[in-house]
Chain A
């Protein structure tokens, strides 16, 4: 039981390049999330998917798109990377998007945009 798996672990992009961060969970969770973590700040929600077939914007969605490919997989796409998107990206999942349903996180993708 791997939990939440993210790929790649590290990535360096040049400004304007695109890439997709992959995330998969094997806990049969309904809800999935993408967060970014920057020094001195708490985790900030980029996009989430409350259930298969739905996606919604979080606090900081600009410059990103997501796809809930199936119940297990939720990808995050940067169409034209900018230095401000240098960050650590975490995917998370939960049984449902309600209270008493803690998020379980992957180990992150460390992205640098030059």
Chain B
């Protein structure tokens, strides 16, 4: 799994399997979380996000789970395909002031997902 600030881990799965990518965050004030996918030579691509008032959110083939008690976030990819091979990283967001403006995002370093055909 990944922790915002650690060396890039890797995950290798077989095509058709489900993938789970983990992310630990450190700021208990973070209230917004995003998962990005980054393919080689491209910019980060938004996958899914979740607010802290939710613990689960589903998209197309992806599910994000949030456990605020242990400050843990995970991305589940169903029926993983070769096209899912990429670096996945999470970002946590928190307001820098009580007014909610001047928002700050902190990005993790990512997990490299390799899908074997």
Contacts and interface: CB of A to CB of B under 8 A. Distances in A.
Interface of A: 4, 40-45, 50, 90, 92, 97-108
Given A42-B4, A98-B101, A99-B32, A104 B46 contact: yes
A100 B109 contact: no
B44 A40 contact: no
B89 interface: yes
Nearest to B109: A42
Nearest to A90: B43
A45 B105 CA distance: 9
Nearest to A39: B8
29 contacts: A4-B43, A42-B5, A42-B89, A42-B106, A42-B107, A42-B109, A42-B110, A43-B107, A50-B101, A90-B44, A97-B102, A98-B100, A98-B101, A98-B103, A99-B93, A99-B95, A99-B100, A99-B103, A101-B103, A102-B34, A103-B44, A103-B105, A105-B36, A105-B43, A105-B44, A105-B45, A107-B41, A107-B42, A108-B42
Contacts, number: 58
B72 to A, nearest CB: 17
Would you call the interface of chain A mostly helix, strand, loop, or mixed?
loop
A54 to B, nearest CB: 11
B49 A100 contact: yes
Given A42-B110, A97-B102, A105-B44, 10 more contacts: A42-B4, A42-B106, A98-B95, A98-B100, A98-B101, A99-B31, A99-B32, A99-B95, A103-B44, A108-B43
A106 B41 CA distance: 11
Contact of A100 (B7, B32, B44): B32
A9 B41 CA distance: 10
A78 B48 CA distance: 33
Interface string B74-97: 000000000000000100010100
Contacts of B31: 99
